[in-house]
Chain A
Amino acid sequence: MKRNFLAIAVGALLIFIVCLLLFVFQVRKSEVVVVTTFGKPTRDVSEPGPHLRWPWPIENVHRFDQRVQNFEDRFAEGLTADSFNLLTSIYVGWQITDPKAFYPTFAGSSEPIAEAEKALDRMLGNVKQGVIGKHPLGDFLAPVGEGNKFADIEKEILGIIQAQVQANNYGLKIQFLGIKKLGLPETVTQQVFDRMQSERKVLADKSQAEGEADAQKIRSEADTKAAQLLANADGEATQIRGKGEAEAAKSLNVFQQNPELAYFIFRLAALEGSLKDRSTLIFDQRTPPFDLFQGISTNAFK
């Protein structure tokens, strides 16, 4: 009896659970649910918690994420107003706002969110290239406040996309949009590399030339200054010598007492001075003291 009661209890519990699962569905805070009755959307539920339903196949529950979805379009090439090739990629934040309109539009796919993003991608590609084509490259590449219209371009694309989505009644809203990446095609990138290399070469050559010029200036200045110093020194030396000469001249009157002796002494001093360095002298026998040789026969000494 006890065993039967237990079996019945377990069976009843299982039946209760199955009924609960068949008649109740739960909605998470992040979800929105579209309930279809025999395939026709009859109500949408966005309030989180448990909700009642008729079991399958009468009613079917289709869940969608009601949070902001984020997707990025292709990194695609276009032309700016001044005919520069520019690659751009845009990210878009969108949200399901009307599940009953969203579900039939994209219900044909097993992945409605992916299908919606595909539709948005096609729409976005067209609008993006159209808006970029209206702006010169400088609108994208300039300091903020100095002609950069990055945010204005994003707003322009967002406005057009929002209007198109609303007109098509997709049941979703584009919440935000931004230019994620900017790039250049491969061939243009190579040209930019070449130009950057040229710019670097200019700077390198400029530095080298400036170095040589500066060095030359410094050397020249140094030489000039040295020459000036030496010239000044020579001048000063001459003046000093002149002063010495003037002082020395004061004692000349002493020699005037006996000019004959003075000349003789000066000649002796000059003679002595001139023979200071190595000299070779050739004398004959008339020069004193060699005049002693005069009249002396060499044989007489033999």
Chain B
Amino acid sequence: MERNLQKNGLVNLLMLLGAGIAAFAVARYSNSLAGTVSVLFLGLGIFVAVVSWFQMRLEDSERLEKLELDELARTHGESALFETKDAEVLPARRSREQFERFFLPVFTVLLCLVEAGGAYFLWQWLSATTTEVEIKQPMPGMFLFFLLALVLFLLGRFSATFARLEDQRLLRPGASYLLLNAILCAVVGGGIIGVQAGFPKSDFYVAHALALLLALISIETLVALVLEIYRPRVKGKIERPIYESRLVGLLGQPEGLITTAAQAIDYQFGFKVSETWFYRFFERAILWLLPLQLFLLLLSTTLVIIEPGEKALLERFGRPVEGRVVLGPGAHFKLPWPIDKIYRSRTEQIQSFEVGLAPGAEGEEKRVVLWAKAHSKEENFLIANREPKSSESADDAAGKRTPPVSLLTGSIPIQYQITNLENWAYINEDSPSLLQDLATREIARYLAGADLNTLLTKGRLEASETLVARIQAAVNEHQMGAKIISAGLEDLHPPVKVAPDYEKVVGALQAKRAKILAAMAYQISTNALSGAQAFSIVNRAHAERTAREVGALAQAALFTNQIPAFQAAPSVYAQRAYLQTFARATANARKYVLLTTNTEDVITFDLQETIAQDLLKLKVPAVQNK
């Protein structure tokens, strides 16, 4: 039995060695990061298997030595020769003790250092590696890892069962590493499947998870080393190897964890759940349920549902399936993966990109967009200068020449739809990028010959239509299978530094208009008033004419009647007329009458007003009697 044990340990060692070499080759062959990391676990397994195999040999030698000593003792009876101390007569035992006392702790320390260092350097290496490492030969790589997983699992299960049944503790560490590596190879294969299924980072993440697992194992080894110092030693008690990881054992044989969980459930429910028919059936059938599940999973890949707005390319062994190259929305049957594969695209969806937006400048969309305020990091477009040569002559004279160009800033959103998925997918390697290049080229070309002012004002709509037509022509020329829907020039504007000056021009135009309008208002007012005044003058003249004519007629008529009266009493009529007229005419006049007979008396009719002093000094001429 002991020979079998040693043989089994050696087989474990050789298996780990072979698997390690194979895994390294497959990892390199398939360019898998996780596969490369898993090789380190296999290497650790090899070290552990070597040490445990050596320890088995020492224990076997000790056992043979003891048998020989017992045989001698029985043959020669009690003799002083065999009454010496063990150390002198049992070299194999002494060797084993020395090995366990000195070599194993040193080896475990080294193992811990390798695990910790390995975890550290793997993490560093993975951090420096790109997240999307291209997996080469994914299918062979994936199946080879699964094959390795199967072989390691079968041998590991055998060794683990053998160790448990025969209570061979030294077989356990190697068996645990076989099983752990079986699981890790399956996980690596799963990571490659993930990459194939459209999750390009899955291999990268699996590699990181393995590096973290290695770090955990190193911590566990360190804790085991510290506890070993304080562990009470009982003579004759069989001890667990110090380098054996409980974590590796637990991960390699998760059923131990399940048993523990079952016991916990039993305790919680108060009855033996683990002895029910369902639990037992599940325990027995789990090995078959898993492949069945995998089969069902594979079967499910035969039905494809293409969502509304989507189309998909169907390939069989990489070749488009005749008559079914493009699958439209709905349910479709196909051969299982990996024979038939589909590649989906959202063809009906309107897709867009922006030309002129600096990389990484996509920011929050602003509700108010002003020319003079930077709203995103935008690129400048060159546009031929057609403005009056204002400052060029001065620059030329100074020897500094400014190129005859103007600059425009802005992002131009281009919207498109995929119309021919086959062309879109198979003619160009990166159709979206090419479309962006073509659109940028057409915009640069158009702007180079455009007129800035026309473009910013009335020509915007026409420019947009021209650009759509030109980009569409370029797309058709390259047989890209896309339809250009729009090219928006609404955000095109002068650069932010120049924009305020454009606004000033607009302000000046407004001021000009305001001045003209004010003058027009003055003109209207002046014209109206002068018209009215002229009308008034003419009317007044008409009135005066009428008054003059009528007055003359009336006076003539009056005079005709006055003549007889005058002729009848010339002096009386005249005196009466004079006095009547005098009274009427001087009714409202202020009157002063100066009397010469009594110069001291002044008769003032209006006593409320004082007489002007100068009037009092007035000298009245002397009365001359005629």
Contacts and interface: CB of A to CB of B under 8 A. Distances in A.
A150 to B, nearest CB: 5
A237 B402 CA distance: 69
B429 A148 contact: no
B391 A199 contact: yes
A247 B382 contact: no
B395 interface: yes
Contacts of A183: 379-380, 382
A167 interface: no
**What are the nearest 4 A-B pairs in CB distance?**
A244-B545, A211-B512, A233-B534, A226-B530
Given A227-B530, A247-B548, A254-B560, 4 more contacts: A141-B449, A207-B512, A281-B589, A284-B620
B167 interface: no
B425 interface: yes
Nearest to A262: B559
Q: Decide if the interface of chain A is mainly helix, strand, loop or mixed.
A: helix
Contacts of B315: 28-29, 48
A34 B387 CA distance: 58
Given A30-B425, A207-B508, A229-B534, A289 B582 contact: yes
B623 interface: yes
A136 to B, nearest CB: 10
Contact of A184 (B390, B405, B440): B405
B512 A281 contact: no
A210 interface: yes
Contact of A197 (B498, B531, B574, B588): B498
B529 A226 contact: yes
Contacts of B197: none
A52 to B, nearest CB: 12
B577 A30 contact: no
B582 A141 contact: no
29 contacts: A21-B140, A29-B315, A29-B320, A91-B437, A137-B404, A141-B384, A141-B449, A144-B445, A148-B448, A150-B445, A176-B478, A178-B437, A184-B405, A184-B407, A192-B406, A192-B407, A194-B391, A195-B402, A198-B390, A206-B508, A208-B508, A211-B513, A222-B523, A230-B537, A237-B541, A247-B549, A248-B552, A251-B556, A265-B562
B441 A91 contact: yes
Count class of interface residues, chain B: 35 or more
A277 to B, nearest CB: 8
Given A49-B317, A229-B533, A180 B511 contact: no
A245 B548 CA distance: 7
Interface of A: 10, 14, 17-18, 21-22, 26-31, 48-50, 56, 61, 63, 65, 67-70, 72, 83-84, 91, 93, 137-138, 140-144, 146, 148, 150-151, 176, 178-184, 188-189, 191-208, 210-212, 214-219, 221-223, 225-227, 229-230, 232-234, 236-241, 243-245, 247-252, 254-255, 257-258, 261-262, 264-265, 268-269, 271-272, 274-276, 278-286, 288-290, 293-295, 297-298
Q: Helix, strand, loop or mixed for chain B's interface?
A: helix
B501 A201 contact: yes
B143 A258 contact: no
Contacts of B384: 141-143
B575 to A, nearest CB: 8
Contacts of B379: 181, 183
B551 interface: yes
Contact of B382 (A182, A217, A295): A182
B438 to A, nearest CB: 7
B91 interface: no
A141 B445 CA distance: 8
Given A18-B144, A199-B388, A245-B548, A142 B448 contact: yes
Given A17-B143, A195-B402, A200-B504, A275 B589 contact: yes
Contacts of A17: 143
B592 interface: yes
Interface stretch (B67-75, B236-244, B369-377, B596-604): B596-604
Contacts of A262: 559
Interface stretch (B77-85, B185-193, B514-522): B514-522
A195 B438 contact: no
B449, B546, B578: which has the most chain A beta carbons within 10 Å? B449
B512 A214 contact: yes
Contacts of A268: 577-578, 581
Given A194-B391, A247-B548, A181 B440 contact: yes
B581 A184 contact: no
A137 B501 CA distance: 26
Nearest to A27: B318
B497 interface: yes
B533 A297 contact: no
Contacts of A217: 519
B589 A278 contact: yes
B238 to A, nearest CB: 36
Nearest to B560: A254
B363 to A, nearest CB: 22
